[in-house]
Structure 1
Amino acid sequence: MSGASNTTAGGAAPSTSELAQPSLVTRSRDLLTAWDAQQAAYITGREARFTMMLDILEHVLPPDGVVLDLACGPGSITARVLDRFPDVTCIAADYDPVLLELGRNALAHHGDRVRFVDVDLWDAEWTSALGDARPDAVLSSTALHWLPADVLARVYGDLAATVAPGGVVLNADHLRHLDGRPLFEELSRLDDERTQQRDRAAGAKDWDGWWADVTSVAEYAALAVERDRRFAHRPPNPELSLTFHVEALRMAGFAEAGPVWQHFDDYIVLARR
């Protein structure tokens, strides 16, 4: 009705935060969708490798299992796990305060089935943030390549001590060909270029364009300062081979480890505790 006041049933006007929150959630969901599009432009078959990871979970995950999404970003894996497995819960762990808050808002509709935690994998005590949880599966996508060899090997050891008996680790990542095979390297590079050209033409943004959209939201722009502080002195990502990952997992105490999916230099590595 024209002229009606904007009040709740009890007569009190909604607070500014109450009015703004639905739009922030909607905006966050849109940004997560855009994140998936810009990431897919860098990774040929990104959705296919997610599907493979979830297919493996279907065989090994208890119906009410716990999944750790390690270095989760805004929660792409978590979203897919929660949608496919209605009784599973997720712990989504990352060190980027912007992406963590974006994920919390975008996936808020899942309620207590998901918990976002702030962890720094460079910190040897990072698993304390998980509390008493013993994940049945740990999934990671396009993230662990940022860790240097010593930190990555220690993280795999941390996972071996944390995952439930019989649990699995699934790491999907670019693992460059480092063994002197120039044709393999060239084919991988050309495939990356084709995917980026195709997806950009279809409207996917690059990282800079997506990040500009994120930081146009006041709540995320405020967190970007802390993000810059956290990552200011981190070294560039090292180039570690598939062989390194597999051997590091075995040395960490996993009973078996190896690749289960490949597209040029993009792999899923599976390890079982």
Structure 2
Amino acid sequence: MSVFSSLVRRWDAQQAAYITDRDERFQVMLDVLAAGPGKDGALVVVDLGCGPGSLAARILERFPDAVVVGVDYDPVQLRLAAIALEPFGDRFMPVDADLASPGWSSALPVERIDAAVSSTALHWLPPAGLVAVYAELAGLVREDGVVLDADHLRFDEATQPLLSALAAGDDARTQEAARAAGVPTWDEWWYEALTVPELAAHADERDRRFRDRPAPPDSPLALHLEALRAAGFRETGTVWQLYDDYVVLARR
């Protein structure tokens, strides 16, 4: 196993420490693609905040004729994705673009897509930025195409104290089990990744891009659904939930 494949594998383990049943969540997303836009053959999918390519790899493996455009503003993770997904050839296209900047879709090598997907990424956008991304996607996704966003959509502690406590308890159990099994933390994974020269070469640029970006406020489920409806998606809802972890679906 190459150092890059090992890093992706350890990334998946590290992420699963924060997301209970992460693989099941991915499976639901793949099943939606298969039942919807993927049932007619080839797929063109945009993976928003693709990271090292975990979801993109699963799509490319499940759908042999699919093409995935991986969008990320993190130059380290985008480079790792490009290397790790080289076996898929030109079926994976990495794109360096900032979802927080209006007009990011102009960097895409395609004009229309069958689906847009995202996993544990869009929570980095402030509410206004999320609304803008969904509005931009409405001009990209073809009729009957879908948007799938998998993410933690936190409960309101003030009005949903029991739900918040249940979700926090689930998070704690999952993380404790992962630590007992030797799974790296977020910081440990990044330390390991930046010992690889080809990735470390992008570390300064990554730091420059994210140095002054504060953590945004949470965007609750209701905001996602309303923003998608306002953007023009005719069917919206959730296809999977475990406590405060959701897969949100919208159909154009």
Structure 1 counterpart of 2:32: 56
CA contact (8 A) 2:44 2:115 kept: yes
Displacement of 1:48 in angstroms is: 0.5
User: Residue type of the partner of 2:241?
Assistant: Q
CA distance in 1: counterparts of 2:44 and 2:168, whole angstroms: 36
Larger Rg, first or second structure (1 or 2): 1
Displacement of 1:54 in angstroms is: 0.2
Q: TM-score, normalised by structure 1?
A: 0.89
User: Residue type of the partner of 2:92?
Assistant: V
Q: Aligned to 1:241, which of 220, 225, 239? A: 220
Structure 1 counterpart of 2:85: 107
User: Residue type of the partner of 1:83?
Assistant: E
1:150 aligns with 2:148: no
1:250 aligns with 2:229: yes
1:192 aligns with 2:168: no
Structure 1 counterpart of 2:203: 224
CA contact (8 A) 2:233 2:250 kept: yes
CA distance in 1: counterparts of 2:112 and 2:160, whole angstroms: 40
Structure 2 counterpart of 1:44: 20
Displacement of 1:240 in angstroms is: 1.3
Displacement of 1:132 in angstroms is: 3.2
Structure 2 counterpart of 1:30: 6
Displacement of 1:65 in angstroms is: 1.2
Structure 2 counterpart of 1:206: 185
Q: Aligned to 1:90, which of 55, 68, 83? A: 68
Calculate percent identity across the aligned residue pairs.
Answer: 53
- Structure 2: any 5+ residue segments left out of the alignment? none
The 5-angstrom pairing of residues 119-130 of structure 1 reads 119-130=97-108
Displacement of 1:135 in angstroms is: 1.3
Q: Aligned to 1:69, which of 47, 50, 65? A: 47
CA contact (8 A) 2:127 2:218 kept: no
Structure 2 counterpart of 1:18: none
Q: RMSD of the alignment, in Å? A: 1.1
Structure 1 residue matching 2:135: 3-state secondary structure: helix
CA distance in 2: counterparts of 1:247 and 1:156, whole angstroms: 10
Displacement of 1:133 in angstroms is: 3.4
CA contact (8 A) 1:29 1:107 kept: no
Cα deviation per residue 1:192-238 (whole Å; 9 max; x = unaligned)?
A: 00000101111210001100110000111110100000011112121
Which stretches of structure 1, 4 residues or longer, exceed 6 Å deviation after superposition?
Answer: none
CA distance in 2: counterparts of 1:244 and 1:132, whole angstroms: 28
CA distance in 2: counterparts of 1:92 and 1:204, whole angstroms: 26
Displacement of 1:131 in angstroms is: 3.0
Cα deviation per residue 1:155-200 (whole Å; 9 max; x = unaligned)?
A: 0000001111111000000001116111110010010000001011
More strand by share: 2
User: Residue type of the partner of 1:130?
Assistant: L
Displacement of 1:66 in angstroms is: 0.5
CA distance in 1: counterparts of 2:9 and 2:232, whole angstroms: 37
Structure 2 residue matching 1:73: 3-state secondary structure: coil
Structure 2 counterpart of 1:7: none
User: Residue type of the partner of 2:197?
Assistant: A
CA distance in 2: counterparts of 1:132 and 1:222, whole angstroms: 29
CA contact (8 A) 2:43 2:67 kept: yes
CA contact (8 A) 1:67 1:137 kept: yes
CA contact (8 A) 1:26 1:106 kept: no
- Structure 1: any 5+ residue segments left out of the alignment? 1-24
